[in-house]
Amino acid sequence: MKTTLHISSGDMSGESLAKSGVSGEVIVWHDILYDGPRKPGWPDEEILEARACFLSETTDGGLAEDYVLAVLQDQYAQLKELVQPDSPYGSVVLWFDACLFDQAMLCHVLSCLHLLGKKDVALLCIDAFPGIEPYNGLGQLSSEQLASCYADRQPVTEEQFLFAGQVDHAFALQDREAFARLAARKEAPLPWVPAAVQRWLEEEPDSATGLGRLSRLALEAIQSGCDRPERVFAFVADRETPPQYWGDITLWQKINELAEQEPPLVRIQGPQARLPQWEGIADLRQFRLYPL
């Protein structure tokens, strides 16, 4: 008998889903598909190598390039296994959030499944949950709460597959004209995409400061007296529009960039010149942040 393959977007949600009692196997997709080197369609080895380099640099070396490449290769191999005659998997269920990070990933995974000819796919995009405010994503839900959502899954339609391909194409090429059209849509086959794309457009450097929205919020936090990384995180998260697409790794990267640009806008004081973007590199509690 075939089993169900569940694909989720985060380690926390994947772990909770695996403990939820929902039948099937769980894999967590790892990539930052709204940014970095890509080409439309199924990625070749050259693109996977370029993305591994990009993701390693994004984490300031916290993730080794060869490790990232192996993870990426394994992910696409698992997708290919879905359409093999002896595949143990029948249906696929996708568990994703409404944020930019997840919507870019969802559209890419849907595009790849469509290219493979895999049609037996269902989607759960959970953009709110009773009693959780603000709701930012599946990682906030317990195993029991995730299991309670399973009956709400909906089959992915051909229209949704095709629309996902258009969105993935826009992200792969960083097509600003396509982004503008997608963000302006009042109705979309994947209704969470327009807001997610609009949030990505807000990361474009503005004419006044040369900074995107996340960098501006980080700078505002430091200028207001938030001198510790965790305080900056709380300040920025409080002013972000849910669902929040970024995590600490991304925010520390933005602060590092503020400190490294010419002229620098912030000063980082600590055991290293940069905030550590991965666990075990340095203790965040030893760092202080000052505006310049």
- Token couple for 91: 């249906």
Burial label, 100 (beta-carbon count in 10 A; 0-12, 13-18, 19+): buried
Q: How confident is the model at residue 282 (pLDDT cuts 50, 70, 90)?
A: confident
Question: Strands (DSSP E) along the chain, which ranges?
Answer: 3-8, 25-28, 89-96, 121-125, 154-155, 266-269, 288-291
CATH 3.40.1360.10 for domain 3-201: yes
Determine what percent of the chain is predicted with pLDDT higher than 90: 91
Q: What per-residue confidence (pLDDT) applies to 279?
A: 75
> Domain residue spans in the chain?
3-201, 213-291
Q: Among residues 231, 219, 224, which one has the least CA distance to residue 261?
A: 219
Q: What per-residue confidence (pLDDT) applies to 60?
A: 85
Q: How confident is the model at residue 278 (pLDDT cuts 50, 70, 90)?
A: confident
Do the domains at 3-201 and 213-291 have one common CATH topology? no
Q: What is the pLDDT of residues 16-53, one digit of tens each?
A: 999 999 999 999 999 999 999 999 999 999 999 999 99
Residues pairing with 92 in the sheet = 5, 121
138 within 8 A of 146, measured Cβ to Cβ:
yes
Q: What is the pLDDT of residues 137-173, one digit of tens each?
A: 999 999 999 999 999 999 999 999 999 999 999 999 9
Mean pLDDT across the chain, nearest whole number?
A: 95
pLDDT at 281 over 80: no
pLDDT at 78 over 90: yes
Q: What per-residue confidence (pLDDT) applies to 20?
A: 94
Separation CA 232–CA 222 (nearest Å): 7
Q: What per-residue confidence (pLDDT) applies to 134?
A: 87
268 within 8 A of 274, measured Cβ to Cβ:
yes
154 within 8 A of 120, measured Cβ to Cβ:
no
Lowest mean pLDDT among 54-68, 104-118, 187-201: 54-68
- Token couple for 87: 């595949």
- Looking at residue 213, the DSSP 8-state letter turns out to be H
How is domain 213-291 classified at the CATH fold level?
A: Arc Repressor Mutant, subunit A (1.10.10)
Mean pLDDT value of segment 268-274: 94
Cα angle: 104, vertex 7, 188; to 5 degrees: 40
Q: What per-residue confidence (pLDDT) applies to 124?
A: 97
Separation CA 229–CA 102 (nearest Å): 25
Q: Among residues 195, 204, 281, 193, which one has the least CA distance to residue 242?
A: 195
- Looking at residue 190, the DSSP 8-state letter turns out to be S
